[in-house]
Amino acid sequence: MRYQSTRGGASVTLDEALRQGIAADGGLYLPESLPELTLSSGADSADIKVTAGTFLAPFFAGSDLEDSLDEIIAETFSFPLPVSALEVAAGRCDVLELYHGPTAAFKDIGAGFLAACLSRLEGDAEKPLTILVATSGDTGGAVAAAFDGRPGMRVVVLYPDGMVSARQAHQLTCWGDNVLSLAVDGTFDDCQAIVKSAMADRQLNDKHRFSSANSINIGRLLPQAIYYAHASVLHKMRTGTAPGFIIPTGNLGNAFACFLARETGMPIGKIILATNANRLIVDYLAGSAWEPRASIQTLASAMDVGNPSNMERLRHVGGDAEDLVGRIRAQSVTDAQIKSQIRRDYEELNLISCPHTATATYVWQHLDEEERLSHDWIVVATAHAAKFEQIVEPIIGERIALPSVLAAILKKPSHFVPIEASMAAFEAALEKQFD
């Protein structure tokens, strides 16, 4: 399997795509052609590791990691990813719970998988690889946890200072000496722009050997497609129906993973994206031009993205807006609607939802009645509500139990470096930490 840039550059192996993160021409890697997959509907499909092995095998063909694939899968999928039924009065809506990993967010799957791959490809303490990650909340903590203490690996986390929750900020800043946490005086888009500029700087790149752990790296997308494949196959096996998915999205990585799974033949019905007030995706699919905007700060902070990178992949595979209409939809949810939905989830659905998950349950409950009741739906729960206790607890009037993994992280000491949103400030912090 070869991988090519969305902008048409030369194809590379999976190993090269994983190392580089972003293509030399600034594009994002995708397989030259997508395999057509048929997963078993037998008893073995109940094990997500079996699903993962079948799904990933063609993507790893010819890779130096091919013989290690089973080990990588076992290391990645080491915690449950349950699908539970919501207590709805009519119709069927389940919740795909993706928050049971080491940092209580769905990013743990992609980050753990990428770390398992790169540590096998690299791991040279004399010539370390430097992983760059811009984060609006959960990504940086998951990546830092996944790479923390791994030989031959460095991590630089850039996050918008003051625009993530206190618990999220702690998860971004409590790791070992191989992790540099930068509190950027700006937005997520400023952080992402620094990462992209750094990776395009050949001299700086040669010195520090940059790679990316954002969803621009194909190593983040492939494992995320697996839980959509697995959930859809099990649902189809048990009910005879292909479920639709409603997915909270910011940078479009998680949502594109679902689209990718469907393109390979997985039994996935409709795909609806739930965004917050950052509605560029919504407006684009409604006919507006794709013109990146300044991000807006919202309660669903991990989705505060004004220029979603993975739209480049979605358009490459699915076409422009007129081609995507009917294949994927999007709806924006305001902060006021998020608050009311968190309360409604708690009171009516017996669900304690984080602000991001609440965008998905809001979209489901406000579907046209015929569409809501005539289709089976799976809403995606992307983070544990305890990460956003300052928002959720006053709304539901109850303390949220802290997951043990999160409690352990919050006991670690925090350390970070504040910087301006500039390449000069970034380079200075990098030189001081790692030179």
* pLDDT tens digits along 354-372: 999 999 999 999 999 999 9
Query: Contact 105/79 with Cβ under 8 angstroms?
Result: no
Per-residue tokens: 427: 């380079």
Q: What's the maximum distance between 2 C-alpha atoms anywhere in the chain?
A: 61
- Residue 268, classed as helix, strand or coil, is coil
- What's at 44, amino acid-wise? D
- Residue 148, classed as helix, strand or coil, is coil
The closest of 253, 255, 276, 259 to 139, measured between CA atoms, is: 253
Query: Contact 217/21 with Cβ under 8 angstroms?
Result: yes
Q: What is the pLDDT of residue 45?
A: 62
Measured CA to CA, the distance from residue 141 to residue 229 in angstroms comes to 25
Which CATH topology does 81-106+219-402 take? Answer: Rossmann fold (3.40.50)
Q: What is the pLDDT of residue 373?
A: 94
Residues 183-212 as b/e (b if ≥16 CB within 10 A, e otherwise) read: bbebbbbbbbbbbbebbeeeebbeebbbbb
3-state secondary structure 8-22: CCCCEEHHHHHHHCC
Measured CA to CA, the distance from residue 72 to residue 123 in angstroms comes to 15
For residues 174, 179, 183, 184, the Cα torsion angle rounded to the nearest 10 degrees is: -160
User: CA 321 → CA 216, 246, 268, 289, distances in Å?
Assistant: 21, 19, 20, 9
The closest of 96, 38, 89, 28 to 360, measured between CA atoms, is: 96
Q: What is the pLDDT of residue 21?
A: 87
User: What pLDDT, in 10s, does the model give residues 210-248?
Assistant: 988 878 899 999 999 999 999 999 999 999 999 999 999
Sketch the domain layout of the chain as residue ranges. 81-106+219-402
Query: Contact 349/84 with Cβ under 8 angstroms?
Result: no
pLDDT tens for the chain, residues 1 to 435: 999 999 998 899 999 999 988 898 989 999 999 999 987 654 446 899 999 999 999 999 999 999 999 999 999 999 999 999 998 988 999 999 999 999 999 999 999 999 999 999 987 767 899 999 998 777 889 999 999 999 899 999 999 999 888 888 999 999 999 999 999 999 988 998 999 899 889 899 889 999 888 788 999 999 999 999 999 999 999 999 999 999 999 999 999 999 999 999 999 999 999 999 999 999 999 999 999 999 899 999 889 999 999 999 999 999 999 999 999 999 999 999 999 999 999 999 999 999 999 999 999 999 999 999 999 999 999 999 999 999 999 999 999 999 999 999 999 999 999 999 999 999 999 999 987
Burial of 252 (0-12, 13-18, 19+ CB in 10 A): buried
DSSP-derived letter for residue 383 is B
Sign of CA dihedral 44, 45, 49, 52: positive
Which helix (H) or strand (E) segment holds residue 3: the answer is strand 2-5
